[in-house]
């Protein structure tokens, strides 16, 4: 059985479908706040510039490392609960993928969630910037050549 090139990994697809079903923006916000509460504690020592999401009004931090089978483990934190929920959404959806699986992801799924319509433009942009940093962390872990990748 072949999957289309744009098929999402199962965990991410599950998250997207959950948000698509919530047609009410208030319900989407409630889901994000619930996800934010479930995010594990983030080490203060990791709140350094190289882990900070640029272009975000909130303070958002993301770290990534590989487990012993080469899958990415993401951790993150934000000082704003809604943004923390967006971060938790991405972490839950992208956790346990290989670096190359993450690098193949397109941000198109962000539109599919319906969240963009519910978010302020700066939050929607922040959501994209969190995703971009998570991809950059995956690229660093992949060992691929960084020369042709925009890192800002």
Model confidence pLDDT, tens digit, residues 74-97:
999 999 999 999 999 999 999 999
User: Is residue 150 assigned to a domain?
Assistant: no
Say how many domains are in the chain: 1
CATH number of the domain enclosing 84: 3.90.1010.10
**pLDDT tens digit sequence for 41-80:** 999 999 999 999 998 888 999 999 999 999 999 999 999 9
User: Is residue 77 assigned to a domain?
Assistant: yes
Task: Classify residue 94 by burial, with Cβ atoms within 10 Å: 0-12, 13-18, 19+.
Answer: buried
112-119: long-range pairs with CB below 8 Å, 24+ = 112/16, 112/20, 113/15, 113/16, 113/19, 113/20, 113/28, 113/89, 114/19, 114/20, 114/22, 114/23, 114/28, 115/19, 115/28, 115/32, 115/86, 117/25, 118/25, 118/28, 118/29
Active site residue 113: no
SS3 1: coil
What domain range is 21 assigned to? 10-139
User: Is residue 151 assigned to a domain?
Assistant: no
Q: Which two tokens stand for residue 65?
A: 């490392």
Buried b (16+ CB within 10 A) or exposed e, 111-121: eebbbeebbee
Q: Which of 32, 56, 86, 119 is catalytic?
A: 56
User: Is residue 5 assigned to a domain?
Assistant: no
Average pLDDT, the chain: 88
**pLDDT tens digit sequence for 6-22:** 589 999 999 999 999 98
pTM (2 decimals)? 0.89
């Amino acid at each position: 059985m072949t999957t289309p090139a744009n098929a999402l990994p199962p965990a991410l697809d599950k998250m997207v479908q959950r948000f698509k079903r919530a047609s009410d923006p208030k319900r989407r916000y409630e889901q994000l706040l619930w996800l934010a509460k479930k995010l594990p504690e983030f080490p203060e020592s990791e709140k350094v510039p190289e882990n900070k999401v640029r272009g975000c009004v909130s303070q958002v931090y993301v770290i990534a490392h590989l487990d012993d089978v080469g899958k990415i483990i993401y951790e993150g934190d934000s000082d704003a609960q809604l943004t923390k929920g967006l971060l938790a959404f991405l972490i839950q959806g992208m956790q346990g993928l290989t670096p190359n699986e993450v690098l193949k992801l397109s941000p198109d799924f962000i539109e599919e969630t319906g969240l963009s319509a519910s978010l302020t433009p700066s939050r929607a942009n922040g959501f994209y910037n969190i995703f971009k940093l998570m991809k950059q962390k995956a690229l660093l872990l992949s060992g691929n050549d960084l020369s042709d990748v925009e890192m800002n």
